[in-house]
Chain A
Amino acid sequence: MRSEFAYASPSSLGEALEILKDFGERTCVIAGGTDLMIAIREGELRAELLVDISRIPELRLIREEGNQICIGPLVTHGELASSGLIKKGASVLGRAANSVGSPQIRNMGTIGGNIINASPAADTIPALVVLEAQVTLKKREGERSLPITDFYLGPYKTIIGAQELLTKITFAKLDDTWKSSFIKLARRKALAISRINIAVLAKMDEMRAKEVRVSIGSSTPTPCRMEKAEAVLRGAVPSAAVIEEASRIVAEEMVARSGVRPSTEYKRPAVQGLVKKALQEAFNIGL
């Protein structure tokens, strides 16, 4: 039996915030629907009112604001993957978006949905973490912006209030001294949910890595940076030995954060190997 609910489709942000103000906890927001429709079909949607934000044009833009790239929550994974601005200034995000689901899912699913649904396996999140993205949450009374790493409380849990809407995602545009990579491991290449995904950004100064950012998804309770490994890489001339050491540290950090589980025996070497591959790709060595 499917969930039953009333439906509202506001055509402006103001109207949407009014509805969320009035009905708060009783609402659920829908955009692309790729996650929510499954809950609806299973009869698991608890909300009385479905608020469809897909008809709010101002939430659908990718634009440059000075040195920042600003993405509306309705931008689809397909649009991210084919955006020239993203390719140039944040290619790691474009590649992450291009690894989501299938062509159909990428035409439907949105970056906002990927962020809000808070699946630990979300592919865009590690990319947004290394981009040091900020998310802006808005309600009728005002708005707040915070780093994406502060947005998550646990798997499928975020700090967003019932009256709030995610209205934009912003991060600094990267110049071409930044190298990047995104790799995911799943049961198969297409249409599979990530078991482990990794995003790497490295700012190069001649041969030296001036700054390195590493985030792994699906393997830690909340999205985070691998700071100990980043410290090992910072200032180093990337070599096979340094990469090996950093990969080992990431695997250790992953285990420290998620605890030892039955899958750890498999995941530790898998994470290590995958990080090695991601770092080699970012530094363009040993491939």
Chain B
Amino acid sequence: MTKRDINICVNGKWYELAVEPYETLLDILRNRLGLTGTKSGCAKGECGACTVNIDGKAILSCLTLAVQVDGKEILTIEGLPKGAELHPLQESFVKHSAVQCGYCTPGMIMNAKALLNHNSNPSEKEVRKTLSSNLCRCTGYERPVKAILDAARIMRGKDER
């Protein structure tokens, strides 16, 4: 089958790539661009490990064809830090020890990022509801929930300044 040329913007940088129609966004991120922060989990849309943001919304990169995101702007976990400075969500996950094995963490953080994009002051219930789509077998969710609520508070403070 013939490859297709696509242009995608990942973490602020544009790439021109020739892709097979059956390749997923996750394949491209990990195997072509070397952005292995985004994880492959269930490959069925149930675990949330492959979550990235497109147009500020959380989507599953394993269920998205690369050809379908031609022209789109994609944000992955690697795009969150500003230089050496971690994003408040990342900082907060570290501070609250919200990471154990870490496999689900990039997906959780990208899902939380999308939540905070449209709701800067989520309730604990809203955070828990959002995280219901990120399977985590280590943390029991307590610390990730605290980390996200704390990061939201810190980010609101920064916005006000």
- Give A contacts to B, CB under 8 Å: 2-7, 9, 30, 33-34, 37-38, 40-41, 50, 52, 54, 78, 101-105, 107-108, 189-191
Within the complex, the shortest CB–CB distance from A220 to chain B, in Å, comes to 26
Closest CB in chain A relative to B17 CB, distance in Å: 14
Given contacts A5-B1, A9-B67, A52-B68, contact A104 B21 (CB under 8 A): no
Interface status of B58 (Cβ within 8 A of chain A):
yes
Residue of A nearest to B44 (CB): A38
Contact of A104 with B45 at beta-carbon distance under 8 Å, contacts A3-B22, A4-B22, A191-B132 already known: yes
- Our pick among A6, A7, A34, A54 for the contact of B45 (Cβ within 8 Å) is A34
Interface CB pairs A-B, < 8 A, 21: A2-B22, A3-B22, A7-B21, A7-B67, A9-B67, A9-B70, A33-B64, A34-B45, A37-B45, A37-B62, A38-B63, A54-B68, A78-B57, A101-B133, A102-B133, A103-B114, A104-B45, A104-B48, A107-B59, A190-B129, A190-B132
Residue of A nearest to B4 (CB): A7
Task: Provide the residues of chain B in CB contact with A40, threshold 8 Å.
Answer: 22, 65
Q: Is the beta-carbon distance between B111 and A104 smaller than 8 angstroms?
A: yes
Inter-chain CA distance A276–B105, complex, in Å, is: 41
Docked complex Cα distance between A190 and B47 (Å): 11
B133 touches A6 (CB 8 A): no
Are B132 and A108 in touch, CB under 8 angstroms? no
A37 touching B133 by the CB < 8 A rule? no
CA distance A7 to B45 in the complex (A): 22
Chain B interface SS verdict (over half): mixed
Tell me, in angstroms, the Cα distance from A52 to B43 when the chains sit together: 21
Given contacts A6-B2, A30-B68, A34-B60, 11 further A-B contacts (CB under 8 A): A4-B20, A4-B21, A5-B1, A5-B21, A34-B63, A37-B45, A37-B65, A102-B132, A103-B133, A105-B133, A108-B64
Q: Which of chain A's residues have a CB closer than 8 A to the CB of B62? A: 37
**When A37-B63, A50-B21 are in contact, do A189 and B132 touch as well, CB less than 8 Å?**
yes
- Mask for B38-66, Cβ within 8 A of A = 1, else 0? 00000111101001000001111011110
The closest CB in chain A to the CB of B110 belongs to: A104
Which B residues fall within an 8 A CB radius of A? 1-2, 4, 20-22, 24, 43-46, 48, 51, 57-60, 62-65, 67-68, 70, 111, 114-115, 129-130, 132-133
Name the distance in Å between A25's Cβ and chain B's nearest Cβ: 19
Q: Is the CB of A108 within 8 A of B60?
A: yes
Q: How far is the CA of A219 from the CA of B147 in the complex (A)?
A: 41
CB distance from B65 to the nearest CB of A (A): 6
Shortest beta-carbon distance from B140 to chain A in Å: 16
A50: B residues at CB distance < 8 A: 21
In the complex, which residues of chain B have a beta carbon less than 8 angstroms from the beta carbon of A9? 67-68, 70
CA distance A52 to B4 in the complex (A): 14
How far does the alpha carbon of A190 sit from the alpha carbon of B136 in the complex, in Å? 14
Assess whether A101 is in contact with B67, with CB atoms less than 8 Å apart.
no
Q: Are B64 and A37 in contact (CB under 8 A)?
A: yes
CA distance A9 to B48 in the complex (A): 27
Residue contact A105 to B45, C-beta cutoff 8 Å: yes
Question: Does B133 lie within 8 Å of A191, measured CB to CB?
Answer: yes
